[in-house]
Chain A
Amino acid sequence: MNAKIQVVLCKCCSEMPKLLNIARLEKLASESGNVLSVMTLDGLCDGKELTQIVAEARAKEIDRAIVLACQKKDVSPALIKAYRRAGVNEYLVGIVNIREEVVLPHTAEPERAQTKAETKLLAAIARSRLLQPLERSSEDMKTRNVVIVGGGVAGQAAAREAAKYGVHTIILEKTGKSITAPGVVMPRARLIGGKGYGGNFELRIKVGESVEDLGAASIVVASGGGWATLKGALAKTVKGALPLYEFYQKLQLDQVPAGTVVFMDTPDPAGKTLKVQDFAWDDTLETAIELKKKRPDTAVFVVFQEMRASGLSELAYKEAAEIGVKFVRYDRSATPKVDPKDPTVLTVKDLSQGEVLKIKLGAMVFASIPASQDNQIIAEALRIPMSPDGGIRRGSIQRGPVSTPKPGVFVCGSALFPKSRDVAAAEGEAAGKMAGEFAARGSIEYGGIVAQVTQEKCSACLTCVRTCPYEAPFIGTATKAEIRVQACQGCGMCVGICPSKAIELLNYTDDQIMTESKTLLGGDF
């Protein structure tokens, strides 16, 4: 073993020496095999201290390091830069979180905390000896296209923001409506298929009747909600059933039919399929007020199970009540009904008054909006997951609020879950920024901690292919698994599930992980 290890103890703003015996840790480190240098610093966050490390590492020809400090995220970037100057591979710099794992939570038991710190140090050294230097590579993006699926409020906002990064935006709009946005707008265009990975997607689109290929560096899904569609029992029965959005447009054009207007939360009051979006109440109240003001003689009802009117819409609620809009609350045990034999009368039991109302319908308007039906096709084309509501599923919040689990694919607006124009526009901007910034990088960085297949062990069982959320593993020409490194995110799911133990995650190999756990268990407790 030729590993040349440097151990650095950071006093972490003088917290560490209060609890731990630094001298004992230093001694333990220096007595361990392969450790050529042991240094104690006041604080790694200080640039001067880093210079000392670099100097020592160079002098002792150090090739790997263990740093006892605080959380990796906080110390990592500067430290890694420093070690790079000293010629140490960034993947050989191990950070042991002594501060949060030992110093802070065990103040009452200094002796045991000391033992724990020592064991952690030994485990880190043991693991460090097994590590290998890893490299990152880069691949040029073949295009600077940011493809935006959907040209609604969110899509337009995304295009505007993305364009600021100097990338080429392309909006795929399924309708023929004209849209003002930077870049290209393709009317009557739909996304129907795709392959590739963040940076180099190859999309298949349908424009009118012709099918075309389109490269993309990043993608924004802004497919909107199912604004024009109504699902549910009542929507089927009632002849004049309208989505709120459509009713609002009719109201603007004075095309609202005569007679009583009932605004209701959902056309599926007994089911669980449709939830009512918070903002829908704001819009409902606003529309009801506008209607009542325009046509004071029209009877206007708002029928609801639970209303979440907050803030300013609380005022709208008051105003509506004052000008004569009637509010009727029902519950699941007695849902409003329309007899199919007489689809012009709504029967509803008013919970607050206790009486059963029979309302002769002029128009019936529903506030809830289902997810866009296009989502399914888009999700399948990009192989991104969906939420139970039928929207596109968000990625982990740590990847950003407009991310999908797939790097390079972003989502905004009602494609996630129907929402108001304002929120959709804001999300569109965010997604546009993310997608623009992503595409503007011009190249994809990959490698480092990625999965690696030992093909002799592979049975081509497809388990890794089926399990990976990123489509990194595939069965290659040798009919053995291979890893598409550009797509590999380094999570190790395929490694943990491979029945033949044919895959390893670099620098998180079984041997490395179990050496660490074994060393930890070998120490005193």
Chain B
Amino acid sequence: MIVAKRKPLNEIAEMLAPYKKVTIIGCRSCVAICLAGGEKEVKMLVSALKIKNKRDGRKQQIEGTVVERQCEKEWVQEIEDEILDSDVTLSMACSLGAQTIGDMYPKHLTFPGLNTGIFGVPEEQGVWSENCVGCGNCIIHTTGGICPIARCAKSMLNGPCGGSANRKCEVNLEVDCAWSAIYDRLKLQNRLDLIESVTPAKDWSASHSGGRRVIVREDAKLTQHQKKGKGVT
């Protein structure tokens, strides 16, 4: 799941200050689940900004609404009026949602209300950890199911580095050393042979280094003919 965090409110307030009509749009998908941009957060943000405006004597109209999945055009379209009726839209979805609105309404201003963070796994309520960076070429079958690209600060393929103390990462002593964990897991599985040989240089071209990535499922794509049939251009 995509895990995001609300931007500091002063930053949001500053971003929105010059505009008279603001629409804040939440999302019921990932960011609701990670408690960053669901209906509750949107409502609280609207109220908090109104208090701030009251304090500063600023006249600003602020509305809040939520869509099912902000990264999908069809859902965004449902609130088109609210978006276009405002001077600026603050997206409380991940950056995908914000960019979807931006791409759909290029003349309209859409600002991010969240800092999009990680592909996170909920360790416990309120704690999400980055276990994948979407490198595009998964190798965790060889590393005991633990991703060294995401979970090691140096993305080492032949770790652990010399800074691993008490099986913790030198960069953050609270965080487990990914390679210690890989070692332990493989030992448990009796598969240490997997890290006996040198893992060669990784091909990063499937990652973001290869440029903006697009994943296509040819058989799912609608043909030009189908699209016309549905009245979509």
Residues of A with Cβ closer than 8 Å to B?
457, 459, 461, 463, 466-467, 498-502
Point out the residues of chain B lying under 8 angstroms from A457, CB to CB. Answer: 28, 39
In the complex with contacts A459-B38, A461-B33, A500-B28 CB distance below 8 A: yes
Point out the residues of chain A lying under 8 angstroms from B40, CB to CB. Answer: 498-501
Q: Which residues of chain B from 3 to 52 have any CB-CB distance to chain A below 8 Å in the complex? A: 28-29, 32-33, 35, 38-41, 43
CA A499 – CA B66 in complex, angstroms?
12
Point out the residues of chain A lying under 8 angstroms from B33, CB to CB. Answer: 459, 461, 463, 499
Which residue on B lies nearest to A510, using beta carbons? B43
CA A499 – CA B1 in complex, angstroms?
16
Closest 9 CB pairs of A and B: A499-B38, A461-B33, A501-B39, A500-B38, A459-B32, A466-B125, A499-B35, A499-B32, A500-B32
Point out the residues of chain B lying under 8 angstroms from A502, CB to CB. Answer: 39
Which residue on A lies nearest to B66, using beta carbons? A500
* A–B complex contacts, Cβ < 8 Å, 22 sampled: A457-B28, A457-B39, A459-B28, A459-B29, A461-B32, A463-B33, A463-B125, A466-B125, A467-B125, A498-B40, A499-B32, A499-B40, A499-B41, A500-B32, A500-B38, A500-B39, A500-B40, A500-B66, A501-B38, A501-B40, A501-B43, A502-B39
Point out the residues of chain A lying under 8 angstroms from B43, CB to CB. Answer: 501
Point out the residues of chain A lying under 8 angstroms from B38, CB to CB. Answer: 459, 499-501
What is the distance, in angstroms, from A481's C-beta to the closest C-beta of chain B? 12
Query: Which DSSP category, helix, strand, loop or mixed, fits chain A's interface?
Result: loop
Residue of B32, B41, B43, B66 with most partner-chain A CB within 10 A: B32
Residue-by-residue, is B45-66 near A (CB-CB < 8 Å gives 1, otherwise 0)? 0000000000000000000001
Interface size class of B (residues with CB under 8 A): 10 to 19
Point out the residues of chain B lying under 8 angstroms from A459, CB to CB. Answer: 28-29, 32-33, 38
Q: A459-B28, A499-B33 are in contact. List 15 more A-B contacts (CB 8 A).
A: A457-B28, A457-B39, A459-B29, A459-B33, A461-B32, A463-B35, A463-B125, A466-B125, A467-B125, A498-B40, A499-B40, A500-B28, A500-B32, A501-B38, A501-B39
CA A501 – CA B26 in complex, angstroms?
12
CA A368 – CA B43 in complex, angstroms?
54
CA A461 – CA B40 in complex, angstroms?
13
Point out the residues of chain B lying under 8 angstroms from A499, CB to CB. Answer: 32-33, 35, 38-41
Which residue on A lies nearest to B43, using beta carbons? A501
CA A467 – CA B35 in complex, angstroms?
14
CA A314 – CA B170 in complex, angstroms?
58
CA A80 – CA B147 in complex, angstroms?
62
What is the distance, in angstroms, from B67's C-beta to the closest C-beta of chain A? 12
What is the distance, in angstroms, from A399's C-beta to the closest C-beta of chain B? 25
Residue of A466, A498, A500 with most partner-chain B CB within 10 A: A500
Which residue on B lies nearest to A502, using beta carbons? B39
CA A466 – CA B32 in complex, angstroms?
16
Point out the residues of chain A lying under 8 angstroms from B66, CB to CB. Answer: 500
What is the distance, in angstroms, from A493's C-beta to the closest C-beta of chain B? 12
CA A181 – CA B166 in complex, angstroms?
54
CA A466 – CA B122 in complex, angstroms?
12
Point out the residues of chain B lying under 8 angstroms from A466, CB to CB. Answer: 125
Point out the residues of chain A lying under 8 angstroms from B35, CB to CB. Answer: 463, 499
What is the distance, in angstroms, from B97's C-beta to the closest C-beta of chain A? 14
Point out the residues of chain B lying under 8 angstroms from A467, CB to CB. Answer: 125
CA A498 – CA B33 in complex, angstroms?
9
CA A460 – CA B1 in complex, angstroms?
13
CA A200 – CA B40 in complex, angstroms?
35
Point out the residues of chain A lying under 8 angstroms from B41, CB to CB. Answer: 499
What is the distance, in angstroms, from A515's C-beta to the closest C-beta of chain B? 15
CA A432 – CA B11 in complex, angstroms?
59
What is the distance, in angstroms, from A504's C-beta to the closest C-beta of chain B? 12
CA A498 – CA B40 in complex, angstroms?
7
Which residue on A lies nearest to B29, using beta carbons? A459
Which residue on A lies nearest to B41, using beta carbons? A499
What is the distance, in angstroms, from A214's C-beta to the closest C-beta of chain B? 32
CA A500 – CA B125 in complex, angstroms?
15
Point out the residues of chain B lying under 8 angstroms from A500, CB to CB. Answer: 28, 32, 38-40, 66
CA A500 – CA B32 in complex, angstroms?
6
CA A498 – CA B44 in complex, angstroms?
13
CA A459 – CA B27 in complex, angstroms?
10
CA A463 – CA B39 in complex, angstroms?
14
CA A332 – CA B217 in complex, angstroms?
71
What is the distance, in angstroms, from A22's C-beta to the closest C-beta of chain B? 37
CA A499 – CA B33 in complex, angstroms?
7
What is the distance, in angstroms, from A401's C-beta to the closest C-beta of chain B? 31
Which residue on B lies nearest to A460, using beta carbons? B33
Point out the residues of chain A lying under 8 angstroms from B39, CB to CB. Answer: 457, 499-502
Which residue on A lies nearest to B122, using beta carbons? A462
Point out the residues of chain B lying under 8 angstroms from A461, CB to CB. Answer: 32-33
CA A457 – CA B27 in complex, angstroms?
11
What is the distance, in angstroms, from B34's C-beta to the closest C-beta of chain A? 8
CA A499 – CA B41 in complex, angstroms?
7
Point out the residues of chain A lying under 8 angstroms from B125, CB to CB. Answer: 463, 466-467
CA A461 – CA B32 in complex, angstroms?
8
CA A71 – CA B32 in complex, angstroms?
39
CA A498 – CA B38 in complex, angstroms?
9
Which residue on A lies nearest to B35, using beta carbons? A499
Q: Which residues of chain B from 116 to 168 have any CB-CB distance to chain A below 8 Å in the complex? A: 125
Residue of A461, A499, A501 with most partner-chain B CB within 10 A: A499
CA A500 – CA B43 in complex, angstroms?
10
